[in-house]
């Protein structure tokens, strides 16, 4: 039996463009990248790095996501009006079912861990 390799975020990876659907953009011209470092064999668990330039867009989470903001500032606003602003060093969870907007206020980098129960 082989031992699974440990995945590190400190080594360089391979970021790919992760376009935001233009129909969801509320403000600005945000540009995003994703550098997925790990996916489970069943495709339901993922971890990596994500970046974004400023802008605001609609989101509807079907997955559970844990985030640690490494750089920048972002604001999430739920459709019920609740808002939360995060800056570098903050960690937070976006639960499945969250509907609202994601706004990148300053260029950001986040570590993400996603679990998709579907």
What pLDDT is attached to residue 86?
98
For tokens 């970046």, what's the residue?
51
> What is the tens place of the pLDDT at every residue in 27-77?
999 999 999 999 999 999 999 999 999 999 999 999 999 999 999 999 999
> What is the tens place of the pLDDT at every residue in 67-108?
999 999 999 999 999 999 999 999 999 999 999 999 999 999
Q: What is the mean pLDDT of the chain?
A: 96
Residues whose CB is less than 8 angstroms from the CB of residue 46 and which lie 6 or more positions away in sequence, other chains included: 36, 38, 39, 40, 112, 113, 114, 116
Give the residue from 10, 22, 19, 9 showing the smallest Cα distance to 53: 19
The verdict on pTM exceeding 0.95 is: no
Distance CA 52, CA 2 (A): 37
The dihedrals phi and psi of 23, each to the nearest 5 degrees, come to -70, -15
Cα 19 to its chain centre, rounded Å, is: 13
Distance CA 74, CA 64 (A): 18
- Ranges of each domain in the chain: 37-115
What pLDDT is attached to residue 50?
98
The first and second tokens of residue 72, run together, are 């920048």
Q: Evaluate whether 64 touches 114 at the Cβ level (below 8 Å).
A: yes
Instruction: pLDDT band for 112, please (50, 70, 90 cuts).
Output: very high
CB-hemisphere CA count at 13 Å for 102? 19
Instruction: pLDDT band for 4, please (50, 70, 90 cuts).
Output: confident
Q: Is the pLDDT of residue 1 over 80?
A: no
Which CATH number does the domain 37-115 belong to among 3.40.50.10860, 2.60.120.10, 1.20.58.100, 3.40.50.1100?
2.60.120.10
């Amino acid at each position: 039996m082989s031992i699974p390799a440990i995945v590190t975020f400190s080594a360089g990876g391979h970021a790919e463009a992760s376009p935001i659907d233009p129909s969801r953009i509320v403000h600005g011209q945000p540009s995003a990248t994703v550098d997925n470092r790990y996916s489970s064999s069943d495709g339901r668990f993922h971890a990596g790095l994500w970046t974004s330039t400023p802008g605001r867009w609609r989101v509807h989470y079907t997955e559970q996501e844990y985030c640690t903001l490494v750089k920048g500032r972002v604001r999430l606003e739920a459709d019920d009006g609740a808002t939360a602003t995060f800056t570098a060093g903050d960690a937070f969870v976006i639960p499945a079912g969250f509907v609202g907007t994601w706004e990148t206020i300053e260029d950001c980098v986040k570590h993400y861990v996603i679990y998709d129960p579907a």
